[in-house]
Amino acid sequence: MEDPEIQYGALVKTGLKMGVRKGWSGFVWMMKIVLPISLLTALLDWSGWIGRLDFLLTPVMGFLHLPPAAALPLLIGMLANIYGAIAAMVVLPLNEGQMTLIGIFLLMAHNLIQEGIIQGKSGINPVKATLFRIITASVTVMIVGPWLVSGPAATAAAGALPPIHLPFADMLWHWLQTTAILCFKIFLIIMFIMTLLETMKFLDWINYIVRFFSPLLKLMGLDAKVGLLWMTAIIFGLAYGGAVIVEEAKAEHLSKEDLEMLHLSIGINHSMVEDPPLFISVGLNAFWLYIPRIVVAVITVHLIRLWYRFRRYRSKSIKKPL
């Protein structure tokens, strides 16, 4: 009979090898998306086109309980990232309530181009995923707005600091530096997640972990099978979660409905460790940055799951002979 320690070591070694292989595959897949999209976004930002497009959002600012000036940070956040949006937001004449609404919206609907493509490549229609994020973010802000904003909204961006326009070479160098750091971070996280995931699979630990998170996943309206993928996106974000989801989807462990429910949930409720503190650092209330989108994720996923059940029931009723 084989020594249990030797058998355990062999399983760990096999899991690590498989994890490294899948981790590298996921990293290469991510780079094919991140590099061109981040460069395109940097070029658009440098050219000034993002700033010129704020007129697209200005007409709807009133519905979101925000002044026209808020269109710029919203647009930057939706097309680029939260960092740029905060940089634009803090120089505008906005009160705490208005900045909180911007924070709520962008935590649910930021970096839509890149993350939409990632979601599209990992199990859901990218247009559907992106529209879902925009609509849920808008509805959430419209609902919580009256509790956060009182009095007339600021109507202009007077006093805003002029944007700093870097020379093209400096912009490109800055992009190379920030992208290299991002790629290194993505590499480390994906490798860690995939090697850990594969090792736990070979050691048969997955069932215990899934069982532990089952009550929370049930509350979120998700199947227990997506537990680790959900935790990955919640902690690390959509980019890293997407790469892991792709590898799991290849193994055909998840149904199309499970994947869609997962994507809709993490689309509006991800990167809970890194993103909200960015807004908290400028003095915004943590309650409003966390609770509304968690509640919205729970409600919307349960409603969509009910719709799927109704559709299946209706389909069976139609096919049933009289």
Q: Give the rounded percent of residues in the chain with a pLDDT score beyond 90.
A: 25
Distance CA 216, CA 198 (A): 23
Angle between helices 227-236 and 168-202 (to 10 degrees): 150
Is pLDDT larger for residue 195 or for residue 164?
195
- Two tokens, residue 289: 């940055």
In the block, which residue shows the tokens 């790469």?
243
Distance CA 195, CA 180 (A): 22
Q: Among candidates 133, 121, 232, which has minimal Cα distance to 186? A: 232
Lowest-confidence region among 122-136, 140-154, 168-182, 265-279: 140-154
Q: What is the structure's pLDDT at 245?
A: 75
Confidence of residue 2 (pLDDT cuts 50, 70, 90): low
* 287 alpha-carbon distance from chain centroid: 19
* Average pLDDT rounded to a whole number, residues 23-40: 81
How far, in Å, are 79, 138, 160, 293 from residue 90 at the CA level? 18, 21, 9, 22
Question: Could you report the per-residue pLDDT of 38-82, keeping only the tens digit for each?
Answer: 787 678 778 877 667 667 777 889 899 998 888 888 988 998 778
Residues 10/199, Cβ–Cβ less than 8 Å: no
65: left (phi over 0), alpha (psi -120 to 50) or beta: left
Question: Could you report the per-residue pLDDT of 262-294, keeping only the tens digit for each?
Answer: 999 999 999 887 789 889 888 899 999 999 999
Distance CA 25, CA 19 (A): 10
Question: Could you report the per-residue pLDDT of 222-271, keeping only the tens digit for each?
Answer: 988 888 888 888 877 887 677 777 777 666 677 888 888 999 999 999 98
Under DSSP, is residue 162 helix (H, G, I), strand (E, B) or coil?
coil
Res 98 pLDDT > 70: yes
The pTM assigned to this predicted structure is 0.76
Residues 118/241, Cβ–Cβ less than 8 Å: no
